[in-house]
Amino acid sequence: MSKLPISAATVRLRLFATARPADGATAGDLAARLEPGRLAFNSGDFHGAHELWEDVWRAPRGASEAMLVQGLIQIAAGMHHAGRGRPRPAATLLAKGLHKLRTAGAPPGEAGGLRFDLFAQVVAAFRDTLPAPHR
Structural domains in the chain, sorted by start: 30-127 (1.10.3450.10)
The model's confidence at residue 62, banded by pLDDT at 50, 70 and 90, is confident
Whether the full predicted model's pTM is greater than 0.85, yes or no, is no
**Region label for 114, one of left (φ > 0), alpha (ψ between -120 and 50) or beta (otherwise):** beta
Q: What pLDDT is stored for residue 9 in this prediction?
A: 45
State the CB neighbour count (10 A cutoff) for residue 19.
10
Instruction: Please choose, from the candidates 81, 113, 109, 84, the residue with its C-alpha nearest in 3D space to the C-alpha of residue 95.
Output: 81
3-state secondary structure of 123: helix
pLDDT tens-place string over residues 1-16: 344 444 534 544 566 6
Residue 110 confidence class, pLDDT cut points 50, 70, 90:
low
% of the chain surpassing 70 pLDDT: 73
